[in-house]
């Protein structure tokens, strides 16, 4: 039998970082390891997060785990699934997606005047 079901993962994000959190309702057959598989298309989740472990307490229930995805592209839609793995098998969560924000929006620069970018980036002029 594969690892226990995962509830729907959720994420918080910025322009190039997403923290994916999920709840593990129960462990099936001992410690489980989890990874987030992600990519920019639903059919090619070729990137993998670091692995996190449930620990050795197999009576543990309803606990939260998370991983941080870094170096994401700005203003990009990402698709992801959480993979759970134990000695019996592998389970994948439902596929979900999130959008990283535009760098200007994530810093509250949503208007059309970007003259402050040069100051914030420590440059004498705005980059091209």
pLDDT tens-digit series, residues 107-126: 555 544 444 444 444 444 44
Task: Kindly list the structural domains of the chain, giving each domain's residue range(s) and its CATH number in brackets, ordered by start.
Answer: 10-120 (2.60.40.10)
Q: Phi first, then psi: what are they for 119, rounded to 5°?
A: -65, -45
- How far is the C-alpha of 96 from the C-alpha of 79, rounded, in Å? 6
Is pLDDT above 60 for 3? no
Element (H, E) at 103: helix 103-106
pLDDT cut 70: percent of the chain above it: 64
- How far is the C-alpha of 22 from the C-alpha of 45, rounded, in Å? 18
- How far is the C-alpha of 119 from the C-alpha of 110, rounded, in Å? 17
Is pLDDT above 80 for 38? yes
40-79: per-residue pLDDT in tens? 999 999 999 999 888 776 667 777 888 899 999 988 999 9
Is pLDDT above 70 for 27? yes
- How far is the C-alpha of 62 from the C-alpha of 80, rounded, in Å? 21
């Amino acid at each position: 039998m594969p690892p226990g079901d995962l509830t729907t993962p959720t994420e918080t994000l910025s322009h190039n970082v997403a923290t994916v959190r999920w709840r593990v309702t129960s462990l099936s057959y001992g410690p489980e390891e989890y990874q987030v598989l992600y990519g920019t298309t639903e059919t090619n989740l070729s990137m993998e997060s670091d692995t996190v472990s449930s620990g050795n307490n197999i009576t543990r229930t309803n606990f939260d785990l998370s991983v941080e995805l870094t170096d994401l592209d700005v203003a990009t839609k990402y698709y992801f699934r959480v993979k759970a793995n134990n000695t019996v098998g592998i389970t994948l969560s439902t596929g979900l997606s999130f959008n990283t924000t535009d760098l200007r929006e994530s810093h509250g620069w949503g208007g059309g005047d970007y003259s402050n970018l040069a100051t914030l980036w420590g440059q004498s002029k705005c980059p091209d």
